[in-house]
Amino acid sequence: MRQVKLSLVPTAGFMLVAAALLSGCGTTSVDDQTAGWSPNKIYSEAKDEASSANYDKAVPLYEKLEGRAAGTPLAQQAELEKAYAQYKATQSVQAIATLDRFIRLHPASPALDYAFYLKGLANFNDDLGLFSFISRQDLSERDQKAAKDSFESFNQLVTRFPESKYAPDARQRMTYIVNSLAQYEVHVARYYYSRGAYVAAINRAQNAISGYTGVPATEEALFILMQSYNALGMKDMSEDTRRVIATNYPNSAYVNGTVKKEADPWWKVW
């Protein structure tokens, strides 16, 4: 049998191809400009970018610093400041993930109160977006999770760190969130009532009344409840609800027919 000899000497064409491949491999990764920087240098640059509102540039620098200064207080600081940069860049999902990790890994951190506060703020922005709706829009499918998550973060803060400098603002935002959630239920109840879905309107009005005590939305919830009972021919229930309104809101503009149309959205408080 004739043997075929395989040449192990690379041809010129092969050498060119190999050189091109090796050259390509060498340029697939962008040079790390921070390679020779100290952790303090990286932190300073990240701070400068954040101060200039270049949050998209600050975030990767903070990430570099987390790895470069791992296990040090500076790395923890970088993690928190990265979360803030993500929050300011409207990357709320990423900011919350960063803060959840920080809370889990550093339960004894002196900055834990700030982490809860910032997490509340990140969800609070979603909350504002949630409630900045158009009145004729179908609201029945809207998600209230962001508002409730925001409330829970603020509640963790004020419960665990009642003397924190962030606690007063957190309490105000909690009050706002509760009022917002109750008003949300009333808005949906009003929507259902206007469409003739009286049973659904009753359910949502009752949610506002039973789920949130002492909120401004209760008065309108009772009024929608009264109207819905009346529309369904449930005169006794309607009259009972009217008496509740008269007792708790003797000068109710809803019952007197003097309620004014809102000039601005009810949620616009800041």
Q: 202-241 pLDDT, tens per residue? A: 999 999 999 998 899 999 999 999 999 999 999 999 999 9
- Over residues 9-19, the pLDDT tens digits come to 444 454 444 44
Q: From CA 168, how far away is CA 32, in angstroms rounded?
A: 43
| Amino acid letter, 26 | G
- Comparing C-alpha atoms, which of 79, 162, 145, 75 is closest to residue 118? 79
Q: From CA 121, how far away is CA 128, in angstroms rounded?
A: 10
Residue 140 tokens read as 């029945």
**Predicted structure pTM score:** 0.74
Q: Which domains does the chain possess?
A: 39-106 (1.25.40)
CA angle 83, 88, 92 (to 5 degrees): 60
Q: From CA 97, how far away is CA 93, in angstroms rounded?
A: 6
Q: From CA 264, how far away is CA 216, in angstroms rounded?
A: 16
- Over residues 175-211, the pLDDT tens digits come to 999 998 999 999 999 999 999 999 999 999 999 999 9
- Over residues 31-74, the pLDDT tens digits come to 778 888 999 999 999 999 999 999 999 999 999 999 999 999 99
Q: Tell whether the model's pLDDT for residue 264 goes beyond 90.
A: no
Q: What is the pLDDT of residue 17?
A: 44
Q: What is the pLDDT of residue 124?
A: 86
Residue 216 tokens read as 């401004």
Q: What is the pLDDT of residue 118?
A: 97
Q: From CA 177, how far away is CA 212, in angstroms rounded?
A: 11
Span 96-110, average pLDDT: 96
Q: What is the pLDDT of residue 260?
A: 55
